[in-house]
Amino acid sequence: MKNTAKKGGQSDPVFELIAAEKMRQKEGLELIPSENYVSEAVLLAMGSVLTNKYSEGYPSFKGISSLSEAVSGGDGFVAPVDSGAVTEGLEASEKAISEEILPNYRYYGGQANVDRIERLAISRAMRLFHADHANVQPHSGANANEAVYFAWCEPGDKILAMNLAHGGHLTHGSPVTRSAKIYNFVAYGVAEDGDIDYDELERVALEELPKLILVGYSAFMKIPDFDRVAAIRDKVAKKAGFEVLLMADMAHVAGLIAGGVHPNPLDHGFDVMTTTTHKTLRGPRGGLILSRGVVSSPLKKCEKKLANIPTLIDKAVFPGTQGGPLEHVIAAKAVAFREALLPSFREYAAKIVENAKALAAGLSQHGFILQGGGTENHLVLVRVQDSFGVNGKFYEKALDLVGLTLNANSLPGDKGAAFKPGGVRLGTPAITTRGMGIPEMQQIADWMYAVVQICVKAADEKGLAKFDDELKVIREEVREMALKFPVPAIS
Ligand SMILES: Cc1ncc(COP(=O)(O)O)c(C=O)c1O
């Protein structure tokens, strides 16, 4: 990919900007908890000629459901790819998948290679997450969520999800989304201790009798009690007299689940799990839907029953909400799933959490008040307004100046304007990929304290100009440390 800017004798500024972005990623520290750095192999698959191919529809699912059954082991944790007998099973199955050409459910010819690639992606995803079925086609996390709602709900049906201001995602019922115009979202929230208010969840669920209960979040730092929510679902279904779909949106923590350091909702009674593939899972930008149930032909009619959810989801993704799948991205997902099956990914996942805890402890020592008192996953929510009287947006901008990238985030009970929230959200997936550990977490906490002190003195963004020299010193220190930890695929 060298000299692409000058290919054909023409210079395209797009490539200069990509080069500039490489430098930004290399010289700064990425603390946005939903970002990560992919491997060279993932990039290679994503930038491949598969982008040239149309493949509306699906490959055959024959022979891949048995793979997850054979290897998931039932202990709630992932069996690493290269662990003895399991590896032999996997390699044999993968060999069969990559060699066998089967009749498919596609609408175009020329599918032999993409079929086999998509089958590998599906089988690896199922193995990682103990699912009966995987749909690897959603273009993004938002598309994945919409497809599940569309698969199960009718217009006007109720969906119970986490309050956005308490950590839920826009796609969980924000009035600005298409889903919120179609379905009737009701919300539960978090309690004082930062954990889900399960009593409220149960009360609202039994009052509202939703068709779908969703556990998922973008800014939440506890491990959910999936068993408790599954028991609530059973009570709701009994009272309502209809089946209730239990869905988990694990976009943020999928990599922690794959790495065995976070429970898997599919092992705790959930029917469906959606995720993005680009956050802790460290794959290409995209979505993924995993489900429990009977796998069947996506072309056949099927009744809206929980048992049929894999097929209902396939139909809802294509043709329900998307057209041709992005097979270059699906290939990159397959590569990332294989990486996530390796024992080294389990170490990576454990290290993400260890680093997040160390970062939280370092921030607490400096007097930052943390939502929920700390973290159990990859993410820390800092009550910066309550701690130092500095709003989240101002702090985000000041940290940008020194090369520390995170995002302002609203907090439960935030009184300020939406664009001036009281908190910031940060996390450790990307810096852990670079190989950073406990000493670096302490150093980042020290810099964050130094910058918040400057914000206090500067009072507002304009005032920061007076502290240019101090900010420049920190910027240099950040750059120096960042360059010691290479970003994968950026030389
Ligand atoms: C919990 C959750 N669900 C869904 C999404 C949407 O993912 P995407 O941006 O890929 O549409 C996000 C993204 O931040 C998320 O945090």
276 in ligand 1 pocket by Cβ < 6 Å? Answer: yes
pLDDT digits (tens, 9 = 90+) for 60-114: 999 885 444 444 443 333 444 444 444 456 677 788 899 999 999 999 999 999 9
Looking at residue 71, its pLDDT comes to 43
362 in ligand 1 pocket by Cβ < 6 Å? Answer: no
Looking at residue 242, its pLDDT comes to 98
In whole angstroms, what is the distance from residue 31 CA to residue 15 CA? Answer: 25
Give just the sign of the alpha carbon dihedral 165, 170, 173, 175: positive
How many CA atoms lie less than 13 Å away from 147 in the CB half-sphere? 35
The pair phi, psi for residue 184, each rounded to 5°, is -105, 100
Looking at residue 72, its pLDDT comes to 43
What's the gap in Å between 92 CA and the centre of ligand 1?
A: 35
Looking at residue 81, its pLDDT comes to 43
142 in ligand 1 pocket by Cβ < 6 Å? Answer: yes
CB 26 within 8 A of CB 487: yes
275 in ligand 1 pocket by Cβ < 6 Å? Answer: no
In whole angstroms, what is the distance from residue 481 CA to residue 28 CA? Answer: 9
- Ligand 1 atom closest to the CA of 168, numbered from 1: 1
In what helix (H) or strand (E) does residue 380 lie, and over which residues does it extend? strand 379-382
252 in ligand 1 pocket by Cβ < 6 Å? Answer: yes
Q: Where in the sequence numbering do the catalytic residues fall?
A: 54, 56, 249, 276, 279, 285
Which residue has its alpha carbon closest to ligand 1 atom 16? 218
For the chain, the average pLDDT equals: 92
pLDDT digits (tens, 9 = 90+) for 382-405: 999 999 999 999 999 999 999 999
Looking at residue 74, its pLDDT comes to 38
What's the gap in Å between 301 CA and the centre of ligand 1?
A: 30
Mean pLDDT, rounded, for 111-131: 95
Residue 372, by phi and psi: left (phi above 0), alpha (psi -120 to 50) or beta? left
In whole angstroms, what is the distance from residue 281 CA to residue 137 CA? Answer: 16
Lowest mean pLDDT among 30-39, 350-359, 404-413: 404-413
pLDDT digits (tens, 9 = 90+) for 36-58: 999 999 999 999 999 999 999 99
CA dist list (Å): 149 to 60, 114, 142, 143, 307 = 24, 28, 11, 10, 16
pLDDT digits (tens, 9 = 90+) for 195-245: 999 999 999 999 999 999 999 999 999 999 999 999 999 999 999 999 999
Q: Hey, what are 291's tokens? A: 């489900």
Domains of the chain: 91-341 (3.40.640.10), 345-483 (3.90.1150.10)
In whole angstroms, what is the distance from residue 54 CA to residue 122 CA? Answer: 18
Which residue has its alpha carbon closest to ligand 1 atom 4? 141
CB 236 within 8 A of CB 213: yes
Number of residues that this document lists for the chain: 491
Cβ count within 10 A of residue 62: 13
Candidate of 276, 322, 381 to mutate for ligand 1, largest count of ligand atoms within 8 Å of Cβ? 276
Q: Hey, what are 136's tokens? A: 């690897």
If we measure between CA atoms, which residue out of 98, 103, 130, 133 comes closest to residue 116? Answer: 98
pTM: 0.94
429 in ligand 1 pocket by Cβ < 6 Å? Answer: no
Cβ count within 10 A of residue 92: 12
Following CA atoms 373, 376, 380, 384 in sequence, which dihedral angle do they give, to the nearest 10 degrees? 0
Mean pLDDT, rounded, for 148-174: 96
What's the gap in Å between 278 CA and the centre of ligand 1?
A: 10
